[in-house]
A and B are shown apart, each in its own frame.
Chain A
Amino acid sequence: SGDTASSEEETIKIGVLASLTGPLETYGKQTVAGFELGLDYATEGSNEVAGKKVEFIVEDTETKPDVAVRKATKLLEEDEVDFLVGSSSSGDTLALLPLAEEYEKIMVVEPAVADSITGKNWNKYIFRTGRNSSQDAVAGAAAIAEKDVKIATFAQDNAYGREGIAAFKEGAEKLGATIVNEQYADPNSTDFTANIQSIINEKPDYLYIVWAGSNAPWKQLKDMQLEEQGIKISTAAQDIASLKTMDSLIGMSGFSIYYHTLPDNKVNDWLVEEHKKKFDGEIPDLFTAGGMTAAISIVEALKKTEGDKDVDGLITTMENMEFETPKGKMKFRAEDHQALQSLYAVTLEEQEGVDHPVPVLIRELNMEETEPPIRNGE
């Protein structure tokens, strides 16, 4: 039994929590696929770091906080994982944060975006490779805001929308723009024309939109002929599934977090190639890259500690750690462990042979430019 103990000692276990069923299942599946590829890449196919085997165990949170907690506890107690990675929804992730602290295990947050994860609810075991709402907002502002530009905003009336707009406003006003109108709509509504009408009345230069989920207003924006009235639309180009619904926004300028053609680096090239190989020619998507990033961050940290799993050591190592990812170079900020990262100012274009609008790079917004305010001190 001494043998097993030592081989246990030699294995590094990572628990990956993601929504594999329910409304976010596409996200979760991408994360898992990306994570696997990321391990492969970072360990060069050996699945070993500093001579120790790396294993990962996937659990489905079903996008229910209670299930997430149960599964995470199972990972921590029964599988005795050394790291947690997850998860697809902010709610699940927030529910998991205290567990990381309780079990003193590092949790790499990917791809949940809520600011409070690295803000108010943060603890020192939390590292986030995914970008947060504020980064989106800062990038969004950087893409369009400048002196004397009038901007109206439109978002879902929930935490995600409100938080995103608040951060955007701060960023945009810093750049000299004025926010002339803020609209929030019931996320379940069928009809957004009243909100759009109100925006049209203000005659802004830009309309900045924060929207996640299915019930998007793109079609109605087009129907209401915003472009014709001189109002340019700007929003985040997210995953491919959402891009597929954004046909009517072709020509808009906004920002992208990831698209397989965007970050021009060798990690991404590898990802695209391997992903196509493995998945029948399919291109990797936003959360695939995210999953890969999470894996890389863990392996890189372990490489630096030479396989030492001591948590405090790992935390010190990871703070300020820079690492190459398919989303470009990243750096865990020491204060709140948020990974600073590049985002991309893009326009949406139609491309031959692609069934969705393609984000085309205008310029890279580097990690300094998109650095969000530190909010975990409050």
Chain B
Amino acid sequence: MEVFINLLVNGVSTGLLIFLLAAGLTLIFGLMSVLNFAHGGLFVWGAFSGAWIFKETNSFLLAIAGSIAIGMVLGWVLERFLIRPVYGNHVRQLLITLGGMLVLSESIKIFWGPNPIRVNLPAWLEGSYQFDGIIIIKYRVFVIVVGLLLYLALWLLLSRTQIGLMIRAGVLDKEMVQALGINVKGLFTFVFLLGAGLAALGGALLAPYSGVVFAEMGMQYAILAFIVVIIGGMGSLQGSALASLIVGVAGAFMAYYMPDLSLALNMLLLATVLLVKPTGLLGEKGSAV
């Protein structure tokens, strides 16, 4: 029983962490139909800058805020120079953001060197709670809380405001939306910055989670985020959240009960979902085929 609870808690918190990463991508991928491979690059930048700011200032909140800001600045540059010329063309988006990814990951090394960097936590998040046999790491609780809050905020933004609608329409016919008096360019930039900020936040929060960050993690997490977004169904925030939880929890349980298969778990999940329900768990009907 303790094992079960431990696995569950850890799985859920890993899941929500993955959700933070995937949420930015869902927004960009789902709403604007932009395949942003550089998302992983923003994520690493968030992780490194968060760790660095925390080390310099010793303020965790500042670290988070700073990394989000840096993520957004980079996101702006990406949107302005790489993505804007290729809106609406999936193949080119994929290819061009791949270039962005290369540059972002490699440039990490210019600033922080090629070695992995250790990341610390503020004292108030250190340690764990223990109730006979059940160990719950404090920071994971924190991540769970942040993840849930962010989910709520995004959900409100998308369902309670017209932004979601405008963006979806903008993707379908950019000119026509402009003709309705809506500033599509500004809107797209906004969403992209939001996504970039989320990616950076995900990075900043992941860094203390695993304790080390390294430049190569970008690609790895870009792929993970894509997997989650597709399993959940493109553009569906709920889908991404669900998929993140599944990936997190299944990962925890598989690693415990079937460690031999855990290496292949995410890919098996993805393959199964795509073959059985190509639109993803909560994806729109007919969007995948």
Contacts and interface: CB of A to CB of B under 8 A. Distances in A.
Touch A–B, Cβ below 8 Å: yes
Interface residues of A, number: 35
Size bracket of the B interface: 35 or more
Contact of B252 (A191, A216, A241): A191
A219 B206 contact: no
Contacts of B14: 190-191
Given A223-B128, A244-B118, A194 B255 contact: yes
A256 B223 CA distance: 36
Nearest to B212: A245
Contacts of B3: 197, 201
Contact of A215 (B7, B117, B210, B248): B210
B127 A223 contact: yes
A146 interface: no
Interface of B (DSSP majority class): helix
Nearest to A198: B256
B253 interface: yes
Contacts of A23: 114, 214-216
Contacts of B85: none
Interface string B225-259: 00000000000000000000000100111111001
Interface of B: 3, 6-7, 10-11, 14, 17-18, 113-118, 120, 127-128, 130, 135, 137, 139, 206, 208-217, 220, 248, 251-256, 259-260, 262-263, 265
A185 interface: yes
A183 B259 contact: yes
B84 to A, nearest CB: 31
Contacts of B18: 190
A62 to B, nearest CB: 13
A253 to B, nearest CB: 21
A245 B118 CA distance: 5
Contacts of B208: 219
Contacts of B263: 157, 186
Interface string A242-254: 1011011000000
A194 B251 CA distance: 9
A189 B251 contact: yes
Given A191-B252, A217-B210, 20 more contacts: A157-B263, A184-B259, A184-B260, A185-B255, A186-B263, A191-B11, A193-B7, A193-B10, A194-B7, A194-B251, A201-B3, A214-B116, A214-B212, A218-B211, A219-B210, A223-B127, A223-B128, A223-B137, A247-B120, A248-B211
